[in-house]
Amino acid sequence: MLIIISVVLLIAAIIVVFFNIPWSRASREFRILAERLMTEAEGEATTSTDTTSTTTESDVFTEDDIAHLPLPVQNHFRYCGYLGTPKMSAMRIKFKDVDFSMGLNKPTIKIDYTQYNFVGALNRIAYIDSSMYGIPFEGIDSFVGGKGSMKGMLAKLFTLFNQTGPAMDRASLVTFLAESLVIPNVALQSNITWQAIDDLHAQATISYRGISGSGIFTFAENGAMISFTTDDREATDFDGQSRQIRWTAILDDYVEKDGIKVPNVLQSIWHYPEGDLLYFDSKDIEIEFI
């Protein structure tokens, strides 16, 4: 009996140690993917092979670059202080202690979330690090080469889900569009067309590799972009059920960093018929342009 107890305790100790070491399949996969995409982005910037830009050849944002954009979008560039600053090829955002809802009438957990957006190839990847009942839970959300996917892993080894397909491709592309004014060089690419609505709203449509989606940006009087709303995303539950639901991203509490105003709060909301679900609620986010 003592031998059995000793073996059980040893196995439990090994599991605890394994759960607490920094290595995992998901983190390794994300790191390798991020390094590859970063290398590609640096190569594009060096050789200037990007042919999708409608901007001038200058290396900084200018009034000429934004002249074709709707007035509220132009005002956002001015409000944030982008004019005269270098055009970025990528962006890294780090979110800490995000309140993340598992779904309608389901628990909320804390997650850390790291994402990269790349301008030239319109790639976006994100890594989710969390735990459920003490067991590591990780995720990789990606849009690479026009293909979207969302993978969840439990206990560092076991794949819980790996969602792919046309609906995921479109949802990922629309998410990229929603963040186009956070990494504003994206907003100047010819893949995105803009349409003026009024002084505080503009519609944008993004097209890439046979996929397209659109949404409406809303701006404050001072020029800050405060929300993006679209009907071109599907909400997918952890049980695999999907349905077309209106989605909104909210940006707030702009703060100045290195002379540029960036949002300090980002929230994501599903507008279910049963009621709105604020499923991603973050603050004190760290934005780095590359």
Average pLDDT over the chain reads 89
Query: Binning pLDDT at 50, 70 and 90, where does residue 46 land?
Result: low
Per-residue confidence (pLDDT) for residue 178, from 0 to 100: 99
Return the CATH fold of 20-47+71-289: outer membrane lipoprotein receptor (LolB), chain A (2.50.20)
CA distance 42 to 167: 30
Per-residue pLDDT for 19 more than 70? no
Per-residue pLDDT for 97 more than 80? yes
CA distance 130 to 46: 37
Q: Which of 177, 130, 181 is nearest to 154 (CA)?
A: 130
Q: How far is CA 150 from CA 96, 109, 154, 162, in A?
A: 20, 18, 14, 6
Cα torsion angle, 65, 70, 71, 74, sign = negative
Residue 178 and residue 172 in contact, taking contact as beta carbons nearer than 8 Å: no
Per-residue confidence (pLDDT) for residue 42, from 0 to 100: 83
Residue 244 and residue 231 in contact, taking contact as beta carbons nearer than 8 Å: yes
Per-residue confidence (pLDDT) for residue 9, from 0 to 100: 38
Per-residue pLDDT for 86 more than 90? yes
Q: What are the extents of the domains in the chain?
A: 20-47+71-289
Per-residue pLDDT for 51 more than 50? no
Per-residue confidence (pLDDT) for residue 236, from 0 to 100: 75
Q: How far is CA 205 from CA 54, 97, 125, 145, 176, in A?
A: 15, 32, 21, 18, 11
